[in-house]
Amino acid sequence: MSVVRGRPILKIRQVELGIGRPKVIVPLTDAHDATLIASAKRIAASRTDMVEWRVDRYAARDDHSKVVAMAARLHEIIGERPLLFTPRTKHEGSDWNPPGDSYRDIIADACASGAIDMVDVQYLNPAVKRCFEAARAHKVPIIASNHDFASTPSAVEIADRLDAMASLGADIAKIAVMPRKPIDVAALLEATAVAAASSKVPLITMSMGPLGVVSRLAGEVFGSCATFATLGGEGSAPGQLPLDEVLSAMELLGRDL
């Protein structure tokens, strides 16, 4: 982690998170090998900055040897772009309900493999500290994440959660919330600006669904270092927009910053 003009910057390969326009991450959500590889090749030919593998969507997600082998194959395809490894659970928007230590173990195995560049760890998962330990053991940067698909907490609560993630040792703190009215989107943006003014780590924040689209585009204004987009297929969360549209909108919004 470095600091530029008072802002924390995290460099992953050649991508700097926390400076300039928000970096765009395209998720891989395919269940089967053939379509997953085909999607990775499409992403490799795109203008995205990073790639996220939503491994919880992978049909062989419980076979960790296959997961590790596929992570290596995906990284080979996407080249120098950073690969974010994300095992999302049922508690935060997936259909995957891992038994026992499976959540911690899949993270530990992926980090040990050397095939991933970052890992997403759910901040409220009971195994969060052990997941952090596994990632740290292999020097894999951590995004601590929290998702609320039902509502939007207050701006104070959002900022407090982001601060708590940073205090836990995350390299990036991420929160995604669901708005029910426009003021909810305003609360997310306010919390982002407040937290970004003093945070020791870069932040990723978003208000989901159609109502929250502005939050996915205005990160450079309010302090979110990355956003998620699609290549026209299924996204990994409600409200994700096509990559080219996101890049064009961010170029316009950040033109005079």
Residue with more model confidence, 94 or 115: 115
Domain-wise residue ranges, the chain: 22-140, 144-214
| 255 confidence band (pLDDT: 50, 70, 90) | low
* Tens-place pLDDT, residues 108-162: 999 999 999 999 999 999 999 999 999 999 999 999 999 999 999 999 999 999 9
Task: Mark whether 32 is an active-site residue.
Answer: no
Catalytic residue among 11, 32, 41, 174: 174
Give catalytic status of residue 64 as yes or no: no
Q: What is the pLDDT of residue 240?
A: 79
| Mean pLDDT on 227-247 | 78
Which of 66, 147, 181, 200 is flagged as catalytic? Answer: 147
Q: How confident is the model at residue 53 (pLDDT cuts 50, 70, 90)?
A: very high
Three-class SS of the chain: CEEECCEEEEEECCEEECCCCCEEEEEECCCCHHHHHHHHHHHHCCCCCEEEEEHHHCCCCCCHHHHHHHHHHHHHHHCCCCEEEECCCHHHCCCCCCCCCHHHHHHHHHHHHCCCCEEEEECCCCCHHHHHHHHHHCCCCEEEEEEECCCCCCHHHHHHHHHHHHHHCCCEEEEEECCCCHHHHHHHHHHHHHHHCCCCCCEEEEECCHHHHHHHHCHHHHCECEEEEECCCCCCCCCCEEHHHHHHHHHHHCCCC
Judge whether residue 234 has pLDDT over 60: no
Q: Which amino acid is at 203?
A: L
* Confidence bin at 93 (pLDDT 50/70/90): confident
Mean pLDDT of 236-252: 82
CATH class of 22-140: alpha beta
pLDDT higher than 80, residue 73: yes
pTM of the model: 0.94
